């Protein structure tokens, strides 16, 4: 199974104040990054790894894949793949904001209700994780338990 997470307002604060993970590599994170990941992501990705699942990021941001991988590495998380806006523009033929099937992604975790609606229209699964939902990680875990 291949799972992907959105970044802005799902895992990275952008106008929403949610609890953050403490980076495993704190000093390097302080030196190398101005962003942190949402609390709960490390436990979720560890649970996915234990099941043999791939963990990806699918974002409409223009952050480089290297920058995204570095951010996750600072938190002790290895990514199997990254889709940023540049890659999406190169490879996706469907007319939608995101198209996980192009990359073999089975489930996308995103904060956008609009992306969920696109998922219904284009036949891909989206689980909405609201930025203000303190129980977001538990809801994602419960959804993953159904696979």
CATH number for the domain whose boundaries are 2-144? 3.40.50.1000
Q: Hey, where are the domains in the chain?
A: 2-144
Q: Report the predicted TM-score, pTM, of the whole model to 2 decimal places.
A: 0.94
- How far, in Å, CA of 116 to CA of 66, rounded? 27
pLDDT per residue rounded down to tens, the chain (147 residues)? 999 999 999 999 998 889 999 999 989 889 899 899 999 999 999 999 999 999 999 999 999 999 999 999 999 999 999 999 999 999 999 999 999 999 999 999 999 999 999 999 999 999 999 999 999 999 999 999 888
- How far, in Å, CA of 51 to CA of 38, rounded? 22
* H or E stretch covering 136: helix 136-144
pLDDT digits (tens, 9 = 90+) for 5-25: 999 999 999 988 899 999 999
Q: Name the 3-class secondary structure at 85.
A: helix
pLDDT of residue 16: 86
């Amino acid at each position: 199974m291949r799972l992907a997470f959105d970044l802005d307002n799902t895992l990275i604060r952008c106008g929403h104040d949610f609890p953050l993970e403490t980076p495993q590599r704190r000093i390097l994170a302080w030196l190398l990054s101005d962003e942190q990941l949402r609390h709960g992501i490390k436990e979720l990705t560890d649970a996915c790894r234990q099941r043999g699942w791939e963990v990806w990021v699918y974002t409409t941001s223009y952050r480089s894949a290297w920058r995204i991988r570095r951010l996750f590495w600072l938190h002790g998380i290895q990514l199997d793949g990254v889709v940023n806006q540049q890659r999406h523009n190169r490879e996706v033929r469907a007319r939608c904001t995101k198209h996980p099937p192009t990359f073999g992604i089975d489930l996308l975790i995103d904060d956008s209700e609009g992306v969920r609606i696109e998922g219904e229209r284009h036949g891909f699964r989206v689980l909405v994780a609201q930025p203000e939902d303190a129980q977001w990680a538990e809801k994602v875990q419960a959804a993953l338990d159904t696979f």
